[in-house]
Structure 1
Amino acid sequence: MILDIDISGLGVIERAELPLGPGFTAITGETGAGKTMIVTALGLLRGGRASADAVRSGATKAVVEGRWQLDSDSPAARLAADAGAELDENDELLVARQVSAEGRSRAWLGGRGVPASILADLGERLVVVHGQSDQWRLRSEGAQRAALDAFGGAELRTARSAVREAHIRRGELRSELQTLSDAEAERELEAARLRRALADIEPAEPQPGEDVTLLARIERLSNLEALRRDVGQAHELLAGDSSAGFGGEGGGSSTELVSQVRSLIDSATSSDPALGELGQAAADISFAIDELGLRLAGYLDGLEAEGSGELAQLNDRLTLLTSLTRTYGPTLDDVIELGSQAGMQLLDLENDSTRIQELETQIAEAEATLAAAASRLTELRTATASLLEERVTTELHALAMPAAQLTVEISPLDEIAAHGGDRVAFMLRPHPGTEPTPLGKGASGGELSRVMLALEVVLADVSSVPTLVFDEVDAGVGGSAAIEIGRRLQRLSANAQVIVVTHLAQVAAFSDNHISIEKSSDGQFTTSSIRRISGADRTQEIARLLSGLSDSETGNAHAEELLELAAANRAAPGGAGHDAAADGSRSVV
């Protein structure tokens, strides 16, 4: 529960502390005193949108601090711990929010800076705020369906989760099928291309670098005659016959010339042994010439063995590889890669066709699962609707609508949605002889206020949110109906902390804790103060709410009568039985 809220620089509030605690707290004050700033402060602590407009004129920032008491094992406490916040020794958690005059916002949880979204997640577990806008939201089918499902408890929530999961599963399968179906034409074209590629590439069996090797071989064969001429002449120079050597008349082959040089050096060596090294060099040259001559002769023999038919075959092969490269390239390596991968790619495409058939089967199964889950949810909603109708109608009778009747109509949707296959409509018959009409069409503001309060009282037994805030939800209500609203809010506070911003004395009289907001002005600025009132001060405030005259003896007498009625209701069996002074008398969140 919320123990207190400290506010500074927010709207008309310069600095104020709002003492709360257990039970039913009523907040009253004159129009413009700043009652709505309390709801604004709570909105900031719940991670709501921060606006510079909320900062008090002349202030640099607005700061709101709320002190909560939590059960250390509650989901809210665990969420706070996950965010790095810690409860103090009294299991209390400090939540703070600051808004600058420029509109910048900061948030703290347990003294640790956190994103505002963390406060929003925590706020959903700690506080529910009902305002006049919520009355209008109650007109929507979604809000009515949510109320019915909340009343249905754990079994209905489980059934709804099963529908949601089945709906998600069907959606995923449908999406995958749609994707594959949309690409089917492209897959067929790609499969045809891959089949053509395999038919062209596999028989050719191209090898890496083969085109380069072919070009080199073709170049060699294309110049075969020139090779024979040049290499032949070189061979003749080395080892041609001595009588008609390439060197001309009187010349000889290189072999003969070197042999003559060697003989002359050998002869001279007998006279000068130092020429022995030169003789060895001449011998080496002779051996090298002989070796080169043998290799040239071998090369010429090889040329004679190469036939002219090979060149035509090589040109045909190069033409084939060039065609493949042009079609599937840009390089021969790309052609080879395509040939090695096309089979697997083609298999994947064929598997897509198989996957389409599998998906169609799985979607049919998912449809059946979803239909069964939705049917079970409809059964539970139908049973829950009967009980909700009875309980809410009973509450409406107690809220000065003795002939009113709420009915819940459940009809099928055209297609099952994530929330099920049901259209839920709350129908209200306010008076005998009238036809039930949807809340969204026929109910007045006062009737909506009472329907919402009746629902809240009924749902309190199944709600896990510990604090309920009502912002002038009693608008349009008065007289005995207002007394019954006060009585019901008092009853509701037996199971939750209830905070009500109200302008009705009949409602405020039933509170355990009465907070008054008063405004004052120095001619330039309006300032509001907040204080807890009791005794004569409370009697005068109730009288002011009743008649606008806080000093009227008649008004005070009427106020005392209201307070006595509320006290008797509290003390009666089944009453709320709260003592605002005993802050520790109530179990916490």
Structure 2
Amino acid sequence: MLEEIAIEDLGVIRSARVPLSAGLTVITGETGAGKTMVLTGLGLLMGGKADPGGIRPGAERAVVEGRIDLTRHPEVVGRVDDAGGSVDDDGSVVVVRTVAAGRSRAHLGGRGVPQGVLAEVADELVTVHGQSDQLRLRTPAKQREALDRFAGSEHAEVLSAYRAAWTERAGLRAEIDDLTSRAAERAREAELLRLGLAEVERIDPQPGEDAELTALTSRLGNAEELRQAAQRAHDAVVGLDMETEGSAVHALEQARRSLEAVAEADPALGEQAGRLAEATYLVNDVATELSGYVADLQADPAALETAHQRLAELGTLTRSYGDTVDEVLRWASDAGLRLLDLDDGDDRVTAMRDRVVELDDRLAELATRVTAGRRAASDRLAEAVTAELSGLAMSGARLEVEVRGTEPGPSGADQVAFLLEPHPGAPARPLGKGASGGELSRVMLAVEVALATAGDEPVLPTFVFDEVDAGVGGRAAVEVGRRLAQLARRTQVVVVTHLAQVAAFADAHLVVTKATGGDDVTVTGVQQVAEDDRVRELARMLSGQEDSATARQHALELLESSAVGR
């Protein structure tokens, strides 16, 4: 729902704030006051094309800002999030459009976005009906969607089942086409995997084997140097025997004995003596291990050659399938699974083709039910809209809803067309062709009322009607107002009107006024009127004389009758 629009320096509007509320809001004012600029501002917020020529003379740019309540439109909240914008804690989002010479900028929820993003959001939130605006039901696809909504919840369930089956079938067909078109490529991939797996199986690498062999070749290749180094370390630790002066063991023993001799005089030195004893044990262990190392280490040219040969074999794998043996083993595991998938391709294609046949039968049955639901609903929708047209000064006009068979698609096997017969004997023509702007707006009003009052209450967009009352007056104008009020019970409706009979049904009444500024430029303001001010505005609309007692009495009667007529 639109909550507010602020406009600066657009056309004749220097600065105006337009509050909008739930229900029916009418915008009135004298011809040329700038009512159209309010709709132009709304169009900019909704992603419409920017025209720098619309900037108020003397201003550098025009700015339009709007606040929209999204609490009933979670899908739009998601779109705002995707665009990088933010929604306020109260569920509203701020939209800003700036127009300057040669460029325009759009912001959604505080983030700059392309103009097209605003248009996408507007498609879910606002529908404008007027001579220069696109119709919500301008395409066969939109007309089909409207008919489906009118058909009710049971039809919606059948259509949902059809769409789910269609989506599954489309996915299967795409996968089948991929498998069959890439059969030769898949065969080549499978052959390469088999060759690689055969080589891995022949060499049979073990986890961590390359690291172990590298360490072994380093030890065997430097056996003499290692033996000499270990021997020198052993001799330095113990000498020729444990008691040799100059050995590490002898020095530690001497130090320990010196401290133990005086330990009774100072316990702190006794603790140090204990630590020296532990160090002696540790050095003795090192000496024992070094002795064993020297004894065991022998040059083994045959073992070294064997290790080098094994590393060379493993190198053929690591060059092709991974930097280490462990990576090669992971590749082999993944390759085995991929090979199973490739080898299973023919069986999968057969199973998928069988499933497609089942889905074809299912789709044919569901499409028949969808068509039956649409044809039943088409007669009811045509009757409902035609009945509405009779009360909108279009007596004799008739809407036809045509359902024709076509090639099956994601939404069934039907093409839907709304055709208007403007008067008896005239040929029925597609909606939007051959009717004046005012007639077309009234047809759309009749369609919207019929859709809004059918079935469960949907989340409808905000409707904006411009010139919906063109060419009507008297009782027909009252009926237009009544139907707008009826539609406004289900959603927000904003109407630009010049008829008091329509304005009297409003829940909120906004008046656009004009005045000449100090620079001799016409400027416009917008104010909400109520009570006596509203009576004066209705009197002006009725007779052009806002202070006429007769006109004021008529205005009061209109307000009273509109309250009763709701």
In the alignment, which of 511, 516, 526 is matched to residue 522 of structure 2? 526
In the alignment, which of 487, 496, 509 is matched to residue 492 of structure 1? 487
- Partner secondary structure for residue 104 of structure 1: strand
Query: In the alignment, is residue 421 of structure 1 matched against residue 424 of structure 2?
Result: no
Match of 1:158 in 2: 157
Q: 1:180: how far off?
A: 1.4
- CA distance in 2 between counterparts of 1:536 and 1:197 reads 92
The 5-angstrom pairing of residues 21-100 of structure 1 reads 21-43=21-43, 56=56, 57-59=58-60, 62-66=63-67, 74=72, 79=77, 83=86, 85-87=88-90, 95=94, 97=96, 99=98
- Partner secondary structure for residue 103 of structure 1: strand
Deviation string, structure 1 residues 271-329 (Cα, Å, up to 9, x no partner): xxxxxxxxxxxxxxxxxxxxxxxxxxxx9xxxxxxxxxxxxxxxxxxxxxxxxx9xx99
Question: CA 1:100 to 1:451, structure 2 compared with 1: closer, same or farther past 3 Å?
Answer: closer
The 5-angstrom pairing of residues 181-200 of structure 1 reads 181-188=180-187
Question: CA 1:485 to 1:196, structure 2 compared with 1: closer, same or farther past 3 Å?
Answer: same
Question: CA 1:529 to 1:440, structure 2 compared with 1: closer, same or farther past 3 Å?
Answer: closer
Residue type of the alignment partner of 1:166: A
- CA distance in 2 between counterparts of 1:456 and 1:202 reads 71
- CA distance in 1 between counterparts of 2:393 and 2:376 reads 27
The 5-angstrom pairing of residues 54-453 of structure 1 reads 56=56, 57-59=58-60, 62-66=63-67, 74=72, 79=77, 83=86, 85-87=88-90, 95=94, 97=96, 99=98, 101=100, 103-108=104-109, 113=110, 127-133=126-132, 136=135, 138-188=137-187, 347-417=340-410, 419-453=411-445
- CA distance in 1 between counterparts of 2:205 and 2:402 reads 76
Question: CA 1:179 to 1:534, structure 2 compared with 1: closer, same or farther past 3 Å?
Answer: same
Question: CA 1:52 to 1:431, structure 2 compared with 1: closer, same or farther past 3 Å?
Answer: closer
Match of 2:541 in 1: 541
- CA distance in 2 between counterparts of 1:388 and 1:129 reads 21
- CA distance in 2 between counterparts of 1:35 and 1:369 reads 54
Question: CA 1:193 to 1:23, structure 2 compared with 1: closer, same or farther past 3 Å?
Answer: closer
- CA distance in 1 between counterparts of 2:333 and 2:75 reads 60
- Gaps of at least 5 residues in structure 2 are 207-300, 302-315
TM-score, L = length of structure 1: 0.61
- Partner secondary structure for residue 104 of structure 2: coil
- CA distance in 2 between counterparts of 1:469 and 1:23 reads 12
Match of 1:456 in 2: 448
- Partner secondary structure for residue 344 of structure 2: helix
Q: 1:424: how far off?
A: 0.9
Q: CA contact under 8 A between 2:99 and 2:105: conserved in structure 1?
A: yes
Q: 1:5: how far off?
A: 3.9
Match of 2:466 in 1: 471
Residue type of the alignment partner of 1:499: V
Query: In the alignment, is residue 566 of structure 1 matched against residue 519 of structure 2?
Result: no
Q: CA contact under 8 A between 2:504 and 2:562: conserved in structure 1?
A: no
- CA distance in 2 between counterparts of 1:492 and 1:341 reads 62
Bigger-Rg structure (1/2): 1
Deviation string, structure 1 residues 122-151 (Cα, Å, up to 9, x no partner): 766764433335565534212211221222
Question: CA 1:449 to 1:442, structure 2 compared with 1: closer, same or farther past 3 Å?
Answer: same
- CA distance in 2 between counterparts of 1:94 and 1:20 reads 15
TM-score, L = length of structure 2: 0.63
Which one is further off, 20-29 or 383-392? Answer: 20-29
Q: 1:395: how far off?
A: 0.7
Residue type of the alignment partner of 1:86: D
- Partner secondary structure for residue 401 of structure 1: coil
- Partner secondary structure for residue 97 of structure 1: strand
Residue type of the alignment partner of 2:541: E
Question: CA 1:479 to 1:535, structure 2 compared with 1: closer, same or farther past 3 Å?
Answer: closer
Match of 1:7 in 2: 7
Query: In the alignment, is residue 515 of structure 1 matched against residue 510 of structure 2?
Result: yes
Q: CA contact under 8 A between 2:67 and 2:93: conserved in structure 1?
A: yes
Match of 2:218 in 1: none
Residue type of the alignment partner of 1:489: L
Residue type of the alignment partner of 1:525: V
Question: CA 1:53 to 1:154, structure 2 compared with 1: closer, same or farther past 3 Å?
Answer: farther
Q: 1:75: how far off?
A: 5.1
Residue type of the alignment partner of 2:538: R
Q: CA contact under 8 A between 2:460 and 2:490: conserved in structure 1?
A: no
- CA distance in 1 between counterparts of 2:136 and 2:10 reads 27
Q: CA contact under 8 A between 2:481 and 2:505: conserved in structure 1?
A: yes
Residue type of the alignment partner of 1:400: A
Question: CA 1:540 to 1:475, structure 2 compared with 1: closer, same or farther past 3 Å?
Answer: closer
- CA distance in 1 between counterparts of 2:337 and 2:67 reads 64
- CA distance in 1 between counterparts of 2:93 and 2:320 reads 69
Q: CA contact under 8 A between 1:410 and 1:424: conserved in structure 2?
A: yes
Question: CA 1:124 to 1:153, structure 2 compared with 1: closer, same or farther past 3 Å?
Answer: farther
Question: CA 1:198 to 1:383, structure 2 compared with 1: closer, same or farther past 3 Å?
Answer: same
RMSD: 5.0
Q: CA contact under 8 A between 2:98 and 2:106: conserved in structure 1?
A: yes
- CA distance in 2 between counterparts of 1:166 and 1:4 reads 43
Question: CA 1:564 to 1:357, structure 2 compared with 1: closer, same or farther past 3 Å?
Answer: same
Residue type of the alignment partner of 2:342: L
Residue type of the alignment partner of 2:512: I
- CA distance in 2 between counterparts of 1:138 and 1:203 reads 66
Q: CA contact under 8 A between 1:55 and 1:62: conserved in structure 2?
A: no
Q: 1:528: how far off?
A: 0.8
Q: 1:452: how far off?
A: 0.6
Residue type of the alignment partner of 1:420: G
Residue type of the alignment partner of 1:528: T
Match of 1:281 in 2: none
Residue type of the alignment partner of 2:88: A
Question: CA 1:166 to 1:526, structure 2 compared with 1: closer, same or farther past 3 Å?
Answer: farther
Residue type of the alignment partner of 1:36: T
Q: 1:353: how far off?
A: 2.1
Deviation string, structure 1 residues 208-240 (Cα, Å, up to 9, x no partner): 9xxxxxxxxxxxxxxxxxxxxxxxxxxxxxxxx
- Partner secondary structure for residue 361 of structure 1: helix
Q: 1:477: how far off?
A: 5.0
- CA distance in 2 between counterparts of 1:341 and 1:491 reads 65
- CA distance in 2 between counterparts of 1:128 and 1:439 reads 16
- CA distance in 1 between counterparts of 2:68 and 2:336 reads 69
- CA distance in 2 between counterparts of 1:389 and 1:106 reads 41
Q: CA contact under 8 A between 1:487 and 1:566: conserved in structure 2?
A: no
- CA distance in 1 between counterparts of 2:156 and 2:558 reads 37
Q: 1:453: how far off?
A: 0.7
Residue type of the alignment partner of 1:431: H
- Partner secondary structure for residue 132 of structure 1: coil
Which one is further off, 189-198 or 489-498? Answer: 189-198
Deviation string, structure 1 residues 380-430 (Cα, Å, up to 9, x no partner): 32332232122112111111223232222212221222x222111123333
- CA distance in 1 between counterparts of 2:127 and 2:458 reads 10
